Amino acid sequence: MGLKKKISNFLKPDYKTLNCGFMINPYSFVSTAVFDPNSVTGLVAWYDANDSATITKSADRVSQWNDKSSQGNNLVQATGADQPLWVNAVQNGKPIIRFDGVSEHMEDLVTNTYTQPTTLFMVCSTPTENGGNRAFFDGDSARNLLNLQSPNQYRIYAGASLIGGTLSAGFKLFRAKFNGASSSLHINNSSILSGDAGTQGLEGIIIGALNGFTGPSNFDVCEVLFYDANVSAGDITSIESYLNTKWGL
């Protein structure tokens, strides 16, 4: 074999076909890395409706929804009539946890305490306004609250209320930052509220109702991330890109 032919064969791409039928070019690199919310410092609660291993249910009624962070803030609901419903293939082909807006809610019995600044990311549908409160996320004795406030407005609360915006239907990515006078609410990365929401931290976690279990929400929950940190702009971009892609927002 001549030198020219040897060099030609050496440089020729060796394409290989996998069993799935795709052609792999050895000169190209495709990253398959999936973003992990745990890679951002401060994650203390993570609930993922698309992870069946974290959900305990009977006849699709959810009695426990386990925390995927290292903190063990598992959500529970022992009362059958108050258990939300697991529903398959609702948002972007993935399952959700559906709360009825009557009595269904879940709570964390561990009641760890986290101080400000804190940051909440929540992918869910918007509840319908009912002339009162509809709670997305709340604490127990110390509160980082996100709720729908009559008439058709959003509120965040950590000892003081920030209220505004206008309700609109559909699945959305909510980001609430609780940081005293620098608190804020963004929906789909658009600024809705900013100012002083108070200085309370979070003790305990409730999804689907206010503390005291009033103000139940009729909504579908996809994923919840709660950080005991003032999440940086770069990490916000990474987290929201992950959530938007996963849930088709």
Q: Annotate the chain with three-state secondary structure.
A: CCHHHHHHHHHCCCCEECCCCCEECCCCCCCCCCCCHHHCCCEEEEEECCCHHHEEEECCEEEEECCCCCCCCCEECCCHHHCCEEEEEEECCEEEEEEECCCCCEEECCCCEECCCEEEEEEEECCCCCCCCEEEEECCCECCEEEEECCCEEEEECCCEEEECCCCCCEEEEEEEECHHHEEEEECCEEEEEECCCCCCEECCEECCCCCCCCCCEEEEEEEEEECCCCCHHHHHHHHHHHHHHHCC
- When computed from its CA atoms, the radius of gyration of the chain, rounded to whole angstroms, is 22
In angstroms, the Cα distances linking 12 to 1, 5, 24, 28, 155 are 16, 10, 14, 14, 62
Residue 77: predicted pLDDT: 98
Residue 111: predicted pLDDT: 84
**pLDDT mean values, one per 10 residues, the chain (249 residues):** 45 40 44 85 98 98 98 97 98 98 95 96 91 89 92 94 94 98 98 98 96 93 98 98 98
* 46/230 Cα distance (integer angstroms): 16
pTM, two decimal places: 0.87
Residue 2: predicted pLDDT: 53
Q: Which domains does the chain have, with CATH numbers?
A: 42-247 (2.60.120.200)
Residue 21: predicted pLDDT: 41
